[in-house]
């Protein structure tokens, strides 16, 4: 295909309503190429004015707020889990201290001597 001086360019084709084209010509654009190039450049300069993107902005903001709330909830749950972990450690330590105390008490009582059953307290 002959190049015709259109290197590094992409050919596009689309159908638009005649009323739209009349308005574009009224703005001074005499060719579709000039109008399309101007439109694409404008779109790239200010993508926020793109209606499809503009419609998504409130949805994205809501999702960001939801994400922030979820992060705060997860932080609170993590802090609670840390407290629960410390509580379990303390319970575990207290339990084994009690067991160690009982073991020490048994060791102090007369080793080898048989203790009377509790119901024989009168003898």
Structural domain boundaries of the chain? 18-104
Question: For the chain, what percent of residues have pLDDT higher than 70?
Answer: 81
pLDDT tens-digit series, residues 76-85: 999 999 999 9
**Which pLDDT belongs to residue 26?**
93
Window from 11-15, 64-68, 113-117 with minimum mean pLDDT: 113-117
Q: How far apart are CA 64 and CA 58, in angstroms?
A: 10
Q: Can you give the pLDDT at residue 117?
A: 73
pLDDT in tens, 87-111: 999 999 999 999 999 888 877 665 6
CB 47 within 8 A of CB 53: yes
C-alpha distances (whole Å) from 46 to each of 1, 9, 32, 35, 53 are 36, 22, 21, 17, 11
Does the pLDDT of residue 121 top 80, yes or no?
no
What tokens does 77 get? 């749950």
pLDDT band at 52 (very low <50, low <70, confident <90, very high): low
* Token pair for 42: 């404008």
| Placement of tokens 């939801």 in the chain | 66
Mean pLDDT for the chain? 84
Distance of CA 10 to the CA centre of its chain: 39
């Amino acid at each position: 295909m002959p190049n015709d001086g259109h290197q590094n360019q992409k050919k596009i084709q689309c159908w638009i309503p005649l009323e739209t084209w009349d308005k574009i010509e009224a703005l001074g654009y005499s060719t579709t190429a000039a109008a399309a190039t101007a439109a694409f450049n404008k779109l790239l300069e200010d993508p926020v004015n793109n209606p499809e993107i503009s419609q998504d902005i409130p949805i994205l903001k809501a999702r960001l707020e939801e994400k922030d709330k979820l992060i705060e909830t997860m932080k609170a749950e993590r802090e609670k889990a840390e407290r629960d972990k410390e509580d379990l450690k303390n319970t575990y330590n207290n339990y084994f201290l009690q067991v160690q105390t009982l073991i020490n008490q048994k060791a102090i009582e007369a080793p080898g001597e048989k203790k009377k059953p509790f119901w024989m307290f009168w003898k």
